[in-house]
């Protein structure tokens, strides 16, 4: 099989599995979507801190780095690298530095879309 097709397949399978778990949590528990999303970030931080998430991200590519677990892993990785470089202060700055690009892009595009489209009240 072509390498590109395999990369897409791995990303689809891992990303789909993460979405499936989220959907099952919504359907079978009383957890709110906000708690599930927060749980995904925390799970990514914990798995990243233990060194278990990065091998999955290396294997699955965007299927593991794009979901919220990937964001949590990015935070853990940033803190780990900043602590190695700057000591204890890196525990406070590493997550911000690692995730700054993604957070800035989310804020920028959120403001851009909000300025283009008119919001409506939801009933």
Average pLDDT estimate for 3-31: 94
- pLDDT attached to residue 118: 83
CA angle 51, 83, 89 (to 5 degrees): 140
- pLDDT attached to residue 96: 85
Domain ranges of the chain: 3-116
**Quick one: how far is CA 44 from the chain centroid?**
7
Burial of 49 (0-12, 13-18, 19+ CB in 10 A): middle
Q: What is the pLDDT of residues 61-101, one digit of tens each?
A: 999 998 889 999 999 999 999 999 999 998 999 988 888 88
In whole angstroms, what is the distance from residue 41 CA to residue 123 CA? Answer: 30
């Amino acid at each position: 099989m072509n390498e590109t097709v395999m990369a897409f397949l791995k990303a689809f399978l891992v990303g789909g599995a993460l979405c499936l778990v989220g959907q099952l949590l919504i359907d079978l528990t009383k957890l709110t979507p906000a708690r599930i999303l927060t749980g995904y970030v925390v799970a990514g931080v914990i798995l990243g801190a233990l060194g278990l998430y990065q091998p999955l991200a290396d294997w699955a590519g965007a299927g593991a780095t794009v979901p919220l677990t990937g964001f949590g892993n990015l935070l853990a990785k940033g803190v780990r690298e900043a602590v190695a470089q700057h000591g204890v202060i890196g525990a406070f700055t590493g997550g911000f530095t690692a995730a700054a690009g993604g957070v800035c892009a989310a804020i920028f595009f959120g403001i851009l879309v909000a300025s283009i489209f008119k919001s409506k009240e939801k009933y």
